[in-house]
Amino acid sequence: MVKGARRGYVAPQRVRARLATRRQIRQAAMSLFLERGYGGTTMDLVAANAQVSARYIHMTFGGKADLFSEVIQIAIAGDDEPLPLGKRPHWMAMLDAGGAETLAAFAATSTAVLQRTAGLLAVADAAAAADEDLAVLRDRGRRRRLVDCAEVVAALDRQQALKSELGITEAADVLYTLSAPATYQLFVDERSWSPDRYQQWLTDSTVSALLRPIA
C-alpha cells in the first residue's frame, strides 16, 4: 500500500513552480505598469500577459496596489530573497566603510536601485493623486528612504566624519534630497546622463555637502 503524502508537505518542485509563476506575474505587471501606467493596467490585462487567471492573481497577491507593492519591492532589492535592503551584507559593509567610502558605496547602491525602480516610482507619483492606496504606498516608500538616509548619516556621525555645523536631521535631509529619484530622472532620463556619470555626481555632491574637510 502506498502511503499518502505527509499532511502539510509541499513538494519542492511545486514550490519552484509557484515561485516561477509569481515571478512571471510580477514581470507581466511591471511591463504593463511601465507601458500603460497604473490606471491603465488592469488585473485582467496582467492575467492575460502572465497566462494565468485574474482570480489566481487576486488570491496570490491581493489587490492591484498589493501587486504593485511587491513589484517595486523586488525591484528595489534586485531579487526575491526575503531580506530587506538595509539588512543585506553590502549595506552593512557600506555603513562600516567610513567617510567618503561610505558615501561612494551609498551612491553606487542608490544608482543601481534607481536604474531598476525610477520608472515605477514615476508611475506611483503620477497615480498617487487619484488613488489613495498608491498614495499610501508612495508615502511609505519615501519614509523608508528617509530612514535609510538617516542610518547612513548616523554611521558617519559615529565616525565623526560629518561637518560640525550639520545636525543629524539636517544631514539626513540633505542626503535624502540629493539622492531623490526625481533628480536621477532629470539627469539620466531628461538630460541623457549615463548612470555612471550620475553615480559620480552623487558621490562628489554628498561628500562635498556632508563630510568634514580632510586636514
| In a shared domain, residues 113 and 188 | yes
User: Residue 50 in contact with residue 24, Cβ under 8 Å?
Assistant: yes
Per the structure, the complete domain to which residue 124 belongs is given by 85-210
Question: What confidence score (pLDDT) does residue 7 get?
Answer: 57
Residue 152 lies in a domain: yes
Residue 7 lies in a domain: no
* pLDDT(1) > 60: no
* pLDDT(2) > 50: no
* pLDDT(214) > 50: yes
| In a shared domain, residues 92 and 156 | yes
What HEC string does 61-115 produce?
A: HCCHHHHHHHHHHHHHHCCCCCCCHHHCHHHHHHHHHCHHHHHHHHHHHHHHHHH
Last residue of one domain, picked from the residues 26, 47, 77: 77
| In a shared domain, residues 17 and 93 | no
| In a shared domain, residues 72 and 93 | no
Residue 195 lies in a domain: yes
CATH number (domain holding residue 56)? 1.10.10.60
Q: Collect all residues with Cβ–Cβ distance below 8 Å to 99 and sequence separation of at least 6.
A: 156, 159, 161, 211
3-state DSSP call for residue 211?
strand
Question: For all residues of the chain together, what is the average pLDDT?
Answer: 93
Q: pLDDT confidence of 173, banded at 50, 70, 90?
A: very high
| In a shared domain, residues 159 and 192 | yes
| In a shared domain, residues 103 and 191 | yes
Lowest mean pLDDT among 81-95, 169-183, 198-212: 81-95
Report the C-alpha gap between 127 and 40 in whole angstroms: 10
Residue 215 lies in a domain: no
Question: What confidence score (pLDDT) does residue 10 get?
Answer: 63
What is the per-residue burial (b if ≥16 Cβ within 10 Å, else e) of 169-180?
Answer: eebbbbbbebbb
| In a shared domain, residues 107 and 56 | no
Residue 2 lies in a domain: no
Last residue of one domain, picked from the residues 58, 77, 96: 77
| In a shared domain, residues 18 and 108 | no
Q: Please give the average per-residue pLDDT across 24-49, as a whole number.
A: 97
What is the per-residue burial (b if ≥16 Cβ within 10 Å, else e) of 139-150?
Answer: eebeeebeebbb
Q: Please give the average per-residue pLDDT across 46-64, as a whole number.
A: 96
Using one digit for the tens of pLDDT, what is the confidence trace for 115-133? 999 999 999 999 999 999 9
| In a shared domain, residues 19 and 55 | yes
* pLDDT(80) > 50: yes
* pLDDT(9) > 90: no
* pLDDT(33) > 80: yes
pTM of this prediction? Answer: 0.88
Torsion of CA 196, 197, 203, 204, to 10 degrees: 160
User: Residue 175 in contact with residue 206, Cβ under 8 Å?
Assistant: yes
Question: What confidence score (pLDDT) does residue 92 get?
Answer: 92
* pLDDT(3) > 70: no
Residue 115 lies in a domain: yes
